[in-house]
């Protein structure tokens, strides 16, 4: 029915530095991202025109601070507008983006800010491991010592067994994403890694090693979205969101249909592609949820970039590199740009926004017109896919 009709338009976007932001708390980091979005859009008066805020934030445990909506709205200088937090684990800010889309489509609001934030690095790795695990099933997964890297390792082992995917192919995802991240001045870890170094790094959850894991990162991201009809008032180059899908699955991985694919991601992709009237072949650039290298390989398959089981070969052929047929995670991905969980969904959208407006600098993909973002919550109990198009 919609077939490519813009749902909303992005007129501006902001991203804080990603990394270990010592001494800064979530609300202060969000203010950095908001400020960039304000400055990027001089035709918009944020205080007068932004009418609501939706912010993804996964955990109150990190800072002993919940009630994130109001907190960050105030710190972003947007006191008194309605503001709420959305939570869907690592897909919290894709959920915020969807809430913003619904809010604009409802006709109630014309201009809305969506975003996400997480402050993680002041905690020990063991504490972070525990907080992250809260997004998995408590009575059967956490209770038996299963961690997040552990859950994705269970999928990696199953994928390797079923399809012959190799540790080298997993490491190639890390090498690619670290290369892209080395070109992104906002990335957490801006350095290249060799295949040998990735392969010889220590085990976190066998068969996943240090370089198969995303980073524990502080960061925030945001977008300013409007009704498509008024977008030109704010920018000459609005980016339209033309497809949005989201689905859920059993919280416990053991109850899901597959151990080598995320059903929720496949359903959301189908919804988004249909709404956008776009096929996988039509995507020019994508940001996918590489919380672990295996997750990027599974994402290729779930998004239809290749057939089930062929994700390992796709990376091996170099097709998803910056200069490949379909560049994936040009930002460096969660692996190298970093994964402040609540901020990730809209940070992916931010990168697609830069790519489609030709502001991606040294990592610019030539002639990119249609982009896709794939955000996964937890081990796959939530997934959301968005498709973006320039005019």
Ligand X SMILES: CC(C)(COP(=O)(O)OP(=O)(O)OC[C@H]1O[C@@H](n2cnc3c(N)ncnc32)[C@H](O)[C@@H]1OP(=O)(O)O)[C@@H](O)C(=O)NCCC(=O)NCCS
Q: Which is nearer to ligand X, 129 or 250 (CB)?
A: 129
Residue burial 357-387, b: 16+ Cβ < 10 Å; e: rest: beebeebbbeebebbbbbbbbbbbbbbbbbb
Task: Report if residue 122 touches another protein, rule: CB under 8 A.
Answer: no
- CB 95, CB 56: distance < 8 Å: yes
Task: Report if residue 55 touches ligand X, rule: CB under 6 A.
Answer: no
Shortest distance (Å) from residue 203 CB to another protein: 5
Shortest distance (Å) from residue 361 CB to another protein: 35
* Residue 43 to residue 81: CA distance in whole angstroms: 20
Shortest distance (Å) from residue 89 CB to ligand X: 7
Q: From the candidates 57, 289, 339, 374, which is the catalytic residue?
A: 339
Task: Report if residue 8 touches ligand X, rule: CB under 6 A.
Answer: no
Q: Give the bridge partners for 88, in sequence order.
A: 90
The only residue of 106, 107, 126, 279 in contact with another protein, by rule CB under 8 A: 126
Annotation says 339 is catalytic: yes
Site residues for another protein, window 147-186 (CB under 8 A)? 147, 149-150, 153-158, 161
Shortest distance (Å) from residue 248 CB to another protein: 12
The only residue of 41, 81, 90, 199 in contact with ligand X, by rule CB under 6 A: 90
Residue nearest to ligand X (CB): 125
Q: Which does 141 bind (CB under 5 to 8 A by kind): another protein, ligand X, none?
A: another protein
Of the ranges 35-43, 110-118, 137-145, 212-220, which one interacts with ligand X (CB under 6 A)?
Answer: 212-220
Task: Report if residue 51 touches another protein, rule: CB under 8 A.
Answer: no
CB contact set of 44 (below 8 Å; sequence gap of 6+): 11, 12, 38, 50, 111, 224, 234
Q: From the candidates 90, 222, 291, 306, which is the catalytic residue?
A: 90
Task: Report if residue 214 touches ligand X, rule: CB under 6 A.
Answer: yes
* Residue 177 to residue 52: CA distance in whole angstroms: 34
Task: Report if residue 385 touches ligand X, rule: CB under 6 A.
Answer: no
- Residue of 371, 333, 335 lying closest to 355 (CA atoms): 371
- Residue of 63, 150, 95 lying closest to 377 (CA atoms): 95
* Residue 311 to residue 292: CA distance in whole angstroms: 14
Dihedral angle computed from the Cα positions of residues 344, 329, 8 and 361, in that order, rounded to the nearest 10 degrees: 110
Site residues for ligand X, window 162-181 (CB under 6 A)? none
* Residue 119 to residue 65: CA distance in whole angstroms: 11
Phi, psi values for residue 316, rounded to 5°: -65, -35
The CA-atom distances, in angstroms, between 141 and each of 77, 137, 230, 273 are 41, 5, 48, 33
Annotation says 90 is catalytic: yes
Q: Which does 253 bind (CB under 5 to 8 A by kind): another protein, ligand X, none?
A: another protein
Task: Report if residue 216 touches ligand X, rule: CB under 6 A.
Answer: yes
The only residue of 4, 252, 277, 280 in contact with another protein, by rule CB under 8 A: 252
Decide the pairing of beta strands 219-226 and 111-118: antiparallel
* Angle, alpha carbons 296-207-251 (nearest 5°): 60
Task: Report if residue 206 touches another protein, rule: CB under 8 A.
Answer: yes
* Residue 51 to residue 226: CA distance in whole angstroms: 10
For the record, the structure tokens of 23 come out as 């001494």
Q: Which does 208 bind (CB under 5 to 8 A by kind): ligand X, another protein, none?
A: another protein
Output the DSSP codes for 90-106.
BTHHHHHHHHHHHHHHT
- Residue of 391, 357, 351 lying closest to 372 (CA atoms): 351
Shortest distance (Å) from residue 254 CB to another protein: 4
Shortest distance (Å) from residue 301 CB to another protein: 17
Size of the site for another protein (CB under 8 A): 36
Shortest distance (Å) from residue 139 CB to another protein: 5
Of the ranges 69-77, 157-165, 211-219, 307-315, which one interacts with ligand X (CB under 6 A)?
Answer: 211-219
- CB 50, CB 95: distance < 8 Å: no
What is the set of active-site residues?
A: 90, 339
Return residues touching another protein (CB under 8 A). 125-127, 129-130, 133, 139-147, 149-150, 153-158, 161, 202-208, 252-255, 259
Return residues touching ligand X (CB under 6 A). 90, 125, 129, 132, 148-149, 204, 210-211, 213-216, 291, 339, 341
């Amino acid at each position: 029915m919609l077939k490519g009709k813009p749902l909303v338009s992005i007129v501006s976007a902001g991203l804080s530095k990603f990394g270990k932001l010592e001494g800064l708390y979530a609300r202060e980091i969000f203010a950095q991202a908001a400020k960039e979005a304000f400055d990027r859009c001089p035709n918009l008066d944020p205080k007068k025109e932004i009418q609501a805020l939706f912010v993804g934030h996964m955990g109150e445990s990190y800072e002993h601070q919940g009630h994130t909506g109001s907190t960050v709205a105030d710190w972003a200088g947007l006191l008194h507008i309605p503001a709420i937090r959305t939570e869907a684990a690592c897909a919290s800010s894709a959920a915020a983006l969807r809430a913003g889309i619904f809010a604009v489509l409802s006709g109630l609001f014309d201009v809305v800010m969506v975003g996400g934030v997480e402050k993680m690095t002041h905690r020990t790795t063991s504490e972070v491991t525990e907080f992250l695990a809260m997004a998995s099933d408590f009575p059967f997964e956490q209770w038996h010592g299963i961690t997040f890297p552990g859950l994705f390792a269970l999928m990696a082992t199953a994928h390797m067994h079923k399809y012959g995917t190799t540790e080298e192919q997993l490491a190639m995802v890390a090498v690619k994403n670290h290369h892209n991240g080395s070109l992104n001045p906002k990335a957490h870890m801006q350095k290249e890694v060799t295949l040998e170094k990735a392969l010889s790094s220590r085990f976190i959850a066998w068969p996943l090693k240090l370089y198969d894991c995303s980073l524990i990162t502080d960061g925030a991201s945001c977008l300013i979205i409007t009704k498509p009809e008024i977008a030109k008032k704010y920018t000459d180059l609005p980016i339209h969101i033309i497809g949005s899908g989201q689905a859920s699955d059993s919280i416990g991985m053991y109850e899901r249909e597959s151990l080598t694919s995320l059903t929720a991601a496949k359903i959301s992709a189908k919804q988004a592609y249909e709404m956008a009237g776009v096929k996988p072949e039509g995507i020019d650039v994508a940001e996918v949820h590489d919380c672990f290298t295996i997750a990027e390989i599974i994402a290729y398959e779930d998004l239809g970039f290749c057939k089930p089981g062929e994700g390992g070969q796709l990376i091996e052929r170099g097709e998803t590199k910056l200069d490949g047929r379909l560049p994936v995670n040009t930002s460096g991905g969660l692996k190298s740009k970093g994964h402040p969980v609540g901020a990730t969904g809209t940070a992916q959208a931010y990168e697609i926004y830069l790519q489609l407006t030709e502001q991606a600098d040294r990592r610019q993909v030539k002639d990119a017109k249609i982009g896709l973002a794939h955000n996964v919550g937890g081990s796959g109990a939530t997934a959301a896919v968005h498709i973006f198009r320039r005019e």
